[in-house]
Amino acid sequence: MSRAAEYETVAAQVTTLIEEAPSFVAALASTAALLNDTFEHYFWVGFYLPEEDGSLSVGPYQGPLACMKIPVGRGVCGAALERREVLVVPDVHAFPDHITCDSRSRSEVVVPVLRDGEVRAVLDVDSDRLNAFDDSDRTGLVTLAGLLADA
């Protein structure tokens, strides 16, 4: 099955998860688990949640230990938060101001989960391979972020 087809299947599953989830955080936790179990090129997948001071704190995730707090504008997640845009980074070690949470991470895609222009969460996916993410990952993750925005 192609990645695009896998993302379509996951989107259908996430739609059902959202309908059954008792809270936004529960929907995020189940989505992280589903993504982690589906895609073998993922090394770490999870969500960061916005704090009152503008930073991000770690939320539901699957994988090795994560950075606990990320300042706005720092690293890939902080940059995506500040810009409110999707970032696909083929080599995180070449990204300006990259924050190393785990040195095994090599590439990353970050998608803000936006509702009415406000960030509800930041979806972060890392791979231990260089250039692991393609357009199907970007498109699929943007679709999932859209579904989660109103969860």
Determine the topology of domain 3-149 in CATH.
Answer: Beta-Lactamase (3.30.450)
* Residue 47: pLDDT over 90: yes
Average pLDDT over residues 123-139: 98
- At residue 99, the pLDDT reads 85
- At residue 102, the pLDDT reads 80
Average pLDDT over residues 94-101: 86
Q: How far apart are CA 52 and CA 115, in angstroms?
A: 17
**Domain range summary for the chain, segments of one domain joined by +:** 3-149
Average pLDDT over residues 99-106: 87
Q: Which long-range contacts (CB under 8 A, 24 or more apart) does 54-57 make?
A: 56/81, 56/122
- At residue 53, the pLDDT reads 94
Which helix (H) or strand (E) segment holds residue 59: the answer is strand 56-62
The residue behind tokens 């994988």 is: 63
- At residue 148, the pLDDT reads 98
